[in-house]
Chain A
Amino acid sequence: MAASIRTVVFLAMVLAVGFLMIILSCVLWQNWLPLLVALTFVIAPLPNALFSHCGADEFAGTYEGASGPIDLGRFITAMIVTSGFALPIVLAHAQVIHKAACIMSIFGGGLVYGTILAYSAAFSQEESEFD
């Protein structure tokens, strides 16, 4: 129990650092476009979560998995994640934002998304213990 609380606190800290990086990348150059990266990474797991309940039954899982809605959710999630990485690069390439802001926002976005992934992984592990 204490371990899981420590994990949650650690993940929350990483999340905060991620958001800090993104907000710093906005503030330091007075250009608030990199904030879109945070939004992108926050909504990235949403299609996966929505469509994961549209499949057949949960025991089919990833092995069978021959259902369109789940694949669609994964496809959209992958699209949004790639967009989250591509957006600051494109903005920096068009010289709308500074290069350092691009790197910082990508790093921060990666931290945010990694936190979400790690959190959901920890949760699903706990759920499977009670099966």
Chain B
Amino acid sequence: MSLPHANYDPRRVCLNPFPEVDFSKYRRTVGVYIAGGLFALANWLFFDACILSAHAKTPWGQPDTPVPVHVTFVDWIPGLCSLLGYLVINLIDKDRIRGQDGFGDPRAVWRARLFLFIGFALMAGGVAGSVTVLVIKYIVPDHAEQFKYYGYANVSQNVALMLSVVVLWMAQNSSDEYEYNLTL
């Protein structure tokens, strides 16, 4: 019997009222599925805004005024930043970050951490950039709610990409949790 220690802790007084469901077996699978779903959701949110913009009609009740704002390349930049960060983060060898002592090159660990930093900086830059676009392009000129949606979709896209990469990272590290006590 190689049950974890917590299952028959002799100091425990109360019974655990929750049924024993072993999620750790499927954690990696479920995490990867959720990450993929979030990734697609993020991009569909943004494409929704793009399609709406391409089909945009005039503000409600004013048929003569032209459409004030469209989704342009500026709106794509935060998403592209996030996608680049996504790639960078996922290209890193996860074992390098941990840096076991006496194994491998310490400078490689340093470089891997630098890459991780660059990746997360790109993703955070994507989120910050999307908020910037939302504020400068949509909120400050005070467009109709119909057009502010483009900005909200952009922010949602980048936040969902960030969530996706975090879920993926946690899922891919979870299989090693018995051997390593990861503090990342």
Q: Which residues of A contact B (CB under 8 A)?
A: 62-66, 71, 74-83, 86-87, 89-90, 93-96
Contact = CB atoms under 8 A, between A and B. Distances in A.
Interface of B: 25-26, 28-29, 32-37, 39-41, 44, 47-48, 51-52, 55, 168, 172, 175-176
A76 B29 contact: no
Contact of B52 (A64, A76, A77, A93): A93
Contacts of A94: 48, 51-52, 55
Nearest to A82: B40
Contacts of B33: 74-75, 77-78
Nearest to A84: B40
A75 B28 contact: no
A54 B13 CA distance: 47
Given A62-B28, A62-B29, A65-B28, A75 B39 contact: yes
B32 A78 contact: yes
B44 A86 contact: yes
7 contacts: A79-B39, A80-B40, A82-B40, A89-B48, A93-B51, A93-B52, A94-B52
